[in-house]
A and B are shown apart, each in its own frame.
Chain A
């Protein structure tokens, strides 16, 4: 079976530039999605444990909805359906005049998908500590909001940094689906190079290596964060 090797093709322009730009887009999508996922996850995760039945139900619906629809289907909903069901002017702005429409759509879609998973972790973290801490905090005269803000969240969240790492890695890998709506991330650029040069092995190998290295870096950073916060976490 013939295959001509040419690792040098990856160092030549424009292919090297494509790879670098791909890495950049992957990081952008991942970072944006993390922020959205954290924000949504915190909100929903806390809502899941609140006394109000309606809020709990709404939060439960959010989680079930965003966990049972594949992320790709969610992305297409945001990209193809959402701009058409809002008022025409808003839809037009979303599709064209918003800066980087594909990036924003991908970040919203992947972020909200991740948010549902983060919400579950947050709920588990709060439940684990809340049983003891919430009554104690309320007994000292704190109002519920203060109890959450000053006691439950700081302590509960510290405990879930570890599980959150795997959620972040899932979101990081999920960033690759943005290529379906035109974001030229690392996976898309490696296929781009394969289309033009036919040196698929080299292109995909480099992409694989970069994902591995970035994944390790993310794990390491989260481990370091976990170690720093752990002494303050209350063992449950």
Chain B
């Protein structure tokens, strides 16, 4: 019906003497809409007996891993341009376990770079088999993708320049706060602004390095994000002595790895492998390896999450 209205409006546009392009554009929109609707209204979801990922692995022996390029120490490109990091190490263990479990003769890795804005879409449409960056598990995201057990627990804090004078959320009044687009911190910040009645300007940035740049060039006063990223940012900065992490830890940001929906076997393998790592002490070793240099260990919430994930055989 909408189409009919646009169609007749565009015919009217032509007759009234507006550019020929006007009428044709309107018709093009209708026809385009009909065509695309036809394309997209393909079948409903089919119930699958075998995971799509398992099918793909048995056929191609390749696991597609999504990685972050600059998310130190979770997932980043190392000196040799190979993805490395805490999450990547865990994922490699999961991949080995998958190879054993599915009895594959070999398993190759294909790495696909993802960022905050694209990671969910790439997992949801199956481009990436497992997202090894560490994404916060939220109910909203659970509608589109599945999450493995909790790999890391973070919470939101503020990264500030020491000379900005910001020590807590109340100090943010009248300041500029940076937040990543499409991250989980954005709605959290809105909630805090409403609850504590803060007036401040929100400046959206694309990712962590962009936030650091904005902070150091004084475009923003504070970066509100989950603190697992802060350690690496401080280390990357050319003047780490100017940066500080302030503010109470807000919220519960449990991170896991995203897997496309309808892959129960792969999800089982991932969770089982992670539980084994937590129980055997391998988890502790990984935390020490990647977070030790920042002075961060296995906190009480992470320990609790790991214990909860360690189901009995």
- Tell me if chains A and B make direct contact, with any CB pair below 8 A: yes
Other-chain residue from A95, A192, A198, A223 in contact with B181 (beta carbon distance below 8 A): A192
Bitwise, B1-16 to A at CB < 8 A (1) or not (0) is 0000010000001000
B188–chain A nearest beta-carbon distance, Å: 14
Alpha-carbon separation in the docked complex, A209 to B36 (Å): 14
Q: Is the CB of A201 within 8 A of B36?
A: yes
Other-chain residue from A102, A196, A219 in contact with B21 (beta carbon distance below 8 A): A219
Whether A208 contacts B181 in the complex (CB less than 8 A), given A3-B40, A196-B140, A220-B18, comes out as no
A68 within 8 A of B: no
A64 within 8 A of B: no
Q: Is the CB of B219 within 8 A of A96?
A: yes
Bitwise, A197-236 to B at CB < 8 A (1) or not (0) is 0100100010011001001100110010000000000000
Alpha-carbon separation in the docked complex, A96 to B215 (Å): 11
**Cβ–Cβ < 8 Å partners of A212 in chain B:** 25-26, 29
Whether A219 contacts B44 in the complex (CB less than 8 A), given A96-B218, A201-B36, comes out as no
Alpha-carbon separation in the docked complex, A192 to B179 (Å): 14
Bitwise, B26-39 to A at CB < 8 A (1) or not (0) is 10010001001000
Q: Is the CB of A1 within 8 A of B144?
A: no
Complex: chain B residue closest to A7, CB-CB: B2
Bitwise, B196-217 to A at CB < 8 A (1) or not (0) is 0000000111000000000001
Complex: chain A residue closest to B190, CB-CB: A14
**Cβ–Cβ < 8 Å partners of A223 in chain B:** 17-19
**Cβ–Cβ < 8 Å partners of B45 in chain A:** 2
Chain A interface residue number, banded? 20 to 34
**Cβ–Cβ < 8 Å partners of B43 in chain A:** 1-2
Alpha-carbon separation in the docked complex, A215 to B181 (Å): 28
Alpha-carbon separation in the docked complex, A198 to B18 (Å): 36
Other-chain residue from B44, B182, B219 in contact with A195 (beta carbon distance below 8 A): B182
Q: Is the CB of B217 within 8 A of A84?
A: yes
Whether A195 contacts B117 in the complex (CB less than 8 A), given A95-B219, A219-B21, A223-B18, comes out as yes
Alpha-carbon separation in the docked complex, A2 to B260 (Å): 13
Q: Is the CB of A205 within 8 A of B13?
A: no
Q: Is the CB of A96 within 8 A of B124?
A: no
**Cβ–Cβ < 8 Å partners of A142 in chain B:** none
Other-chain residue from B124, B203, B204 in contact with A198 (beta carbon distance below 8 A): B124
A184 within 8 A of B: yes
Q: Is the CB of B140 within 8 A of A2?
A: no
Bitwise, A19-52 to B at CB < 8 A (1) or not (0) is 0000000000000000000000000000000000
Alpha-carbon separation in the docked complex, A101 to B217 (Å): 14
A73–chain B nearest beta-carbon distance, Å: 17
Q: Is the CB of A208 within 8 A of B29?
A: yes
Bitwise, A174-199 to B at CB < 8 A (1) or not (0) is 00000000101000000110011010
4 A-B pairs besides A96-B219, A196-B182 with CB distance below 8 A are A1-B42, A182-B204, A192-B182, A215-B25
For this complex, 17 residue pairs linking A to B, each with C-beta atoms less than 8 Å apart, are: A1-B40, A1-B42, A1-B43, A3-B41, A3-B42, A95-B217, A101-B219, A192-B182, A196-B140, A198-B120, A198-B121, A198-B124, A198-B143, A198-B144, A216-B26, A219-B21, A223-B18
